Amino acid sequence: MADRQREINELRIEKMTAEIICVGTELLLGEITNSNARYIADQLAKLGIPHYHQSVVGDNIERIGHVIDIAIDRRAEILIFTGGLGPTPDDLTTVAIANYFATPLEENEQILSDINKKFAERSLVMTDNNRKQALLPKGAQVLPNSIGTAPGMIWHPRSDLLLLTFPGVPSEMMAMWTQTAILYLQSLGWGKEIIYSRVMRFLGIGESNLASKITPLFELTEPTVAPYVSKGEVRLRISTKATSRIAANELIEPISEQIKTITGLDYYGCDEDTISSVVGELLIESKQTLSIAESCTGGGLGKIITDTPGSSFYFIGGVIAYANECKTSLLGVSRNTIEQFGAVSQQVAMEMAKGLVKKTNSDWGISITGIAGPSGESFHKPIGLVYVGIVGPGEIFEGFEFKFGTNKDRETIRYLSANNALDKLRRLLVKQKIKKENTYIMG
Amino acid sequence: MADRQREINELRIEKMTAEIICVGTELLLGEITNSNARYIADQLAKLGIPHYHQSVVGDNIERIGHVIDIAIDRRAEILIFTGGLGPTPDDLTTVAIANYFATPLEENEQILSDINKKFAERSLVMTDNNRKQALLPKGAQVLPNSIGTAPGMIWHPRSDLLLLTFPGVPSEMMAMWTQTAILYLQSLGWGKEIIYSRVMRFLGIGESNLASKITPLFELTEPTVAPYVSKGEVRLRISTKATSRIAANELIEPISEQIKTITGLDYYGCDEDTISSVVGELLIESKQTLSIAESCTGGGLGKIITDTPGSSFYFIGGVIAYANECKTSLLGVSRNTIEQFGAVSQQVAMEMAKGLVKKTNSDWGISITGIAGPSGESFHKPIGLVYVGIVGPGEIFEGFEFKFGTNKDRETIRYLSANNALDKLRRLLVKQKIKKENTYIMG
């Protein structure tokens, strides 16, 4: 144990750090996931505040005190608490903190009038247990909560120690973090440089293929470029430390442009863009309309398209042709084609798209037919086999075959089908746009 | 500090507990959410193993050792680790544990041959860094990993201490937990009684309304009944400690039946049931078919219906009538009706449902038209106003108005619209079933 003690003492001389302490018996019972810890950890990383430990502890004064003791022992200089600030008897974070530092609690007038006001707005009478939320250790400042009744505190019980407390409700914690805490930490000198990033999104290309095209960029240090896969698409995160978003963009932009040039049509958007929003913008720009005919996705393609607000500007609607009768009665697919090639075939996909555009008079039509599983496959038509047909202006009439893999589940295959069908349309829309621009320049 | 030391010493005499220690710099950077901690916490609660502390620490031998020290200091007798078992240099959990207990690492033949086999199956050659995963502290047993290459350990470094290690990949950790760890803990005498629960699901009734109908049941202690709201529906969790699922069901079943009697048609299913799967079962039973005509949900209703595998037995398909032209051209809604009452009206919903069933020849037809936002509202037609029409056998022709609230977002309104439309169909299907059963009995 003498050795252990020496090691622990050595830890003490490391540079000072922040620790996250999440309070709540519901976390110990596994009733909720600790999403607050992730959010704060991400924010600390962005502010450049070192952070080596997180703790979860129940609503218990002694145990909370013990956890504070351990964190201080590890030379933490910023302790960030979530949870245990509410009005009920098991909300004990503030009391535990005051106890630990042997500091009396005082009723804060600002909080009290604020809670009173919030209750009045909802035509409710404030009960006595809500008064509890107005108590802060003597000397602590209010960390305002604009959307709930329980505020937090900003407190320096000692010159080398900062305590921040937040409620456990993620939306309140996040609002308090962005509205006040982040500015306070910056005022202390943290986060002069913040990590900014841009996420570039790709469809129709695998991770290793994309990575091999831009290998030298992974050696960069300012900004850094890192690939990852999420929800069936490859993404590249370009990150850099900078004093502002504008300064960051000056570093990120040239790399982003370089990647766009190398990857061409495989790149579809960045950050908040979705394949649905990108297709939407292209359709708005070209003043064209879209309709769809979907079988295996059963409405999923339409849902993704209409997830984008304003999709009514270009999306007409279409047909969910789940049963073969629907393919025939609503889209005019010939019974012969279905019998000869099967409902999941390129031929049926093309007839679906053709029939659709005839019915809806839209500029573009997409059809999907495939085998999403868990059953319905045959030797020649495995689970994950999906056909897409696209009909468009200027006699565009294109078919696509996808094999998403027999090991994928129904939900994934349906998701990939809808997204990749939209990606095929995006590529055609971009080509059309380039052609038009060239014609304009030539003319 | 003397006072603090006394308090800490007092903590030592509390009864022994488990602690969860999650290792991974990605957790400290906020790159991933700690879902493993929640899973294990829930499992510990079910086994009745007390658990008062969780720690997160980076991939660092000294700091992992320090966290072990703290846990043992707190009298933990079971330490459960996740993360840091892989082949890369930053996977340090096993080394840190061996170091802390000053125990040499040994190459485990069983693990080595298992890893070799897994690589061979994938036609890959095992690299040297994968050998690292075969190292365990002398005396530790293998905790097998059936789906990945990194196994964990089961180790009693002292008679009063058990260590379990798991990889950070949730699917591997969970498989190892259910396949081995839970049985091992039970063999030690834990979890003779486990907490079993049943979740009852309700639609079309609010939480306080439901709660007021069954108030006395909340006083029960064996089993307990607790309400909560999730994804737009009210749920009741009935939980009890028992030695087996069968024994638990004997306690849960009578309460569940009592609640069903009180709540009638508001109850729709339990546990893994969804409104889509329940409607599907009813349609299979009645040998009837369903088609849909959706406007504001844009495919979302079809997606929910076809999320259920086997939905092709009863779901024909339908029309996404997003634009008014589609309502007219594909469903035969009269232009006059749209002009006179607006596209979002009970009249249009009814014409949509009627036209739909005519086109598809299905037994049942559901239509949805509404305002999902974020724009498109008017003074008389606020965001969240949704009309549903249902046409069914025996001249069923019913309309429903929903006001989901102007403060809800687009995604929520669309989700609620689809689910509540299906719930209205479910109620009609249940009534039809009861009527048939009565006719049969009467006959």
Looking at the structure, tell me whether residues A246 and A211 fall in a common domain: yes
pLDDT tens digits, one per residue of B320-353: 999 999 999 999 999 999 999 999 999 999 999 9
Measure B1 CA to nearest chain A CA, in Å.
10
Looking at the structure, tell me whether residues B286 and B367 fall in a common domain: yes
- What Cα–Cα distance (Å) separates residue B290 from each residue in A13, A63, B6, B80, B366? 70, 57, 70, 50, 8
Instruction: Give the pLDDT score at A14.
Output: 43
Q: DSSP letter at A127? A: P
Nearest CA in chain A to B22: A54
The answer on pLDDT for A8 being more than 60 is no
Instruction: Give the pLDDT score at B9.
Output: 44
Measure B373 CA to nearest chain A CA, in Å.
8
Measure A305 CA to nearest chain B CA, in Å.
8
Final residue of a structural domain among B270, B302, B320: B270
Q: Which residues of B touch A366 (CB under 8 A)?
A: none
CB A115 within 8 A of CB A149: yes
Looking at the structure, tell me whether residues B363 and B417 fall in a common domain: yes
Instruction: Tell me how far apart the alpha carbons of residues B329 and B319 are, in angstroms, rounded to a whole number.
Output: 11
Q: A114-123, A275-284, B157-166, B241-250 — which is least confidently predicted?
A: A114-123
The answer on pLDDT for B144 being more than 80 is yes
Give the angle subtended at the CA of A335 by the CAs of A332 and A341, to the nearest 5°: 110
Considering only the beta carbons, identify the residue of A42, A297, A330 that sits closest to B359.
Answer: A330
How far separated are the first and last CA of chain A, in Å rounded? 84
B15, B20, B56, B69, best to mutate vs chain A, most A CBs in 10 Å: B56
Nearest CA in chain B to A301: B299
Q: What is the CATH number of the domain that holds A341?
A: 3.90.950.20
What is the ipTM, given to two decimal places? 0.79
Measure A7 CA to nearest chain B CA, in Å.
7
The answer on pLDDT for A1 being more than 60 is no
pLDDT tens digits, one per residue of A221-274: 989 998 888 888 999 999 998 888 899 999 999 999 999 999 999 999 999 999
Looking at the structure, tell me whether residues B200 and B279 fall in a common domain: no
Q: Decide if B34 and A38 are in contact by the 8 Å CB cutoff.
A: yes
The answer on pLDDT for A48 being more than 60 is yes
- Count of residues in chain A: 443
Instruction: State whether residue B420 is helix, strand or coil.
Output: helix
Nearest CA in chain A to B327: A317
Q: Which residues of B touch A44 (CB under 8 A)?
A: 30
Q: Decide if B322 and A317 are in contact by the 8 Å CB cutoff.
A: yes
Final residue of a structural domain among A249, A270, A291: A270
Instruction: Give the pLDDT score at B5.
Output: 52
Instruction: Give the pLDDT score at B1.
Output: 42
B227 vs A253, higher pLDDT: A253
DSSP H or E run through B234: strand B233-242
Mean pLDDT of B401-410: 90
Nearest to B176 by CA among B82, B106, B98: B82
Residue B225 pLDDT class (50, 70, 90 cuts)? very high
Which two tokens mark A340?
Answer: 């000869």
Measure B100 CA to nearest chain A CA, in Å.
8
Mean pLDDT of B207-227: 90
Q: Decide if A11 and B361 are in contact by the 8 Å CB cutoff.
A: no
Looking at the structure, tell me whether residues B263 and B285 fall in a common domain: no
Distance of CA A18 to the CA centre of its chain: 25
A150 vs B364, higher pLDDT: B364
pLDDT tens digits, one per residue of B277-325: 999 999 999 999 999 999 999 999 999 999 999 999 999 999 999 999 9
Q: A298: phi > 0 → left, psi -120 to 50 → alpha, else beta; which?
A: left
Considering only the beta carbons, identify the residue of A62, A306, A319 that sits closest to B11.
Answer: A62
Q: Which residues of A touch B40 (CB under 8 A)?
A: 30
The answer on pLDDT for A277 being more than 90 is yes
Residue A382 pLDDT class (50, 70, 90 cuts)? very high
Global confidence as pTM: 0.80
Q: Decide if A298 and B303 are in contact by the 8 Å CB cutoff.
A: yes
Q: How many contacts does A have with B, using Cβ atoms within 8 A?
A: 257
Considering only the beta carbons, identify the residue of A4, A44, A305 that sits closest to B298.
Answer: A305
Nearest CA in chain A to B10: A62
Measure B442 CA to nearest chain A CA, in Å.
37
Residue A5 pLDDT class (50, 70, 90 cuts)? low
Nearest CA in chain A to B53: A57
Count CB neighbours of B101 within 10 A: 18
Nearest to A109 by CA among A78, A82, A136: A136
Looking at the structure, tell me whether residues A263 and A394 fall in a common domain: no
Q: A7-21, A222-236, B61-75, B158-172 — which is least confidently predicted?
A: A7-21
Looking at the structure, tell me whether residues A388 and A362 fall in a common domain: yes
Instruction: Give the pLDDT score at A15.
Output: 60
The answer on pLDDT for A303 being more than 60 is yes
Q: Which residues of A touch B322 (CB under 8 A)?
A: 302, 306, 311-312, 315-317
Nearest to B218 by CA among B201, B199, B238, B232: B238
- What Cα–Cα distance (Å) separates residue B214 from each residue in A122, B237, B260? 27, 13, 11
Considering only the beta carbons, identify the residue of B66, B303, B375 that sits closest to A11.
Answer: B66
Looking at the structure, tell me whether residues A140 and A280 fall in a common domain: no
Q: What is the CATH number of the domain that holds A114?
A: 3.40.980.10
* % of chain B residues with pLDDT over 90: 74
Residue A443 pLDDT class (50, 70, 90 cuts)? low
Q: Which residues span the domain enclosing B349?
A: 275-442
Final residue of a structural domain among A218, A245, A270: A270
- What Cα–Cα distance (Å) separates residue A91 from each residue in A141, A169, B68? 19, 13, 28
Instruction: State whether residue B144 is helix, strand or coil.
Output: coil
Looking at the structure, tell me whether residues B367 and B303 fall in a common domain: yes
How far separated are the first and last CA of chain B, in Å rounded? 84
Nearest to A40 by CA among A178, A243, A190: A178
Q: What is the CATH number of the domain that holds A202?
A: 3.30.70.2860
Residue A7 pLDDT class (50, 70, 90 cuts)? low
Q: Decide if B55 and A54 are in contact by the 8 Å CB cutoff.
A: yes
pLDDT tens digits, one per residue of A408-433: 889 999 999 999 999 999 999 999 99
Looking at the structure, tell me whether residues B368 and B240 fall in a common domain: no
Q: For chain A, what is the total number of helices (H) and then of strands (E)? A: 17, 17
Considering only the beta carbons, identify the residue of B43, B52, B100 that sits closest to A63.
Answer: B52
B2 vs B75, higher pLDDT: B75
Query: Residue B435: which residues within 8 A CB-CB, separation 6 or more?
Result: none
pLDDT tens digits, one per residue of B245-263: 899 999 999 999 999 999 9
Looking at the structure, tell me whether residues A316 and A235 fall in a common domain: no
Count CB neighbours of B3 within 10 A: 8
**To the nearest whole number, what is the mean pLDDT of chain B?**
92
Measure A5 CA to nearest chain B CA, in Å.
9
Residue located via tokens 């602690």: B19
Number of domains making up chain B: 3
Alpha carbons within 13 angstroms on the beta-carbon side of residue B177 total 22
Nearest to B320 by CA among A291, A44, A220: A291
Looking at the structure, tell me whether residues A396 and A339 fall in a common domain: yes
pLDDT tens digits, one per residue of A195-209: 888 999 999 998 888
Instruction: Give the pLDDT score at B194.
Output: 81
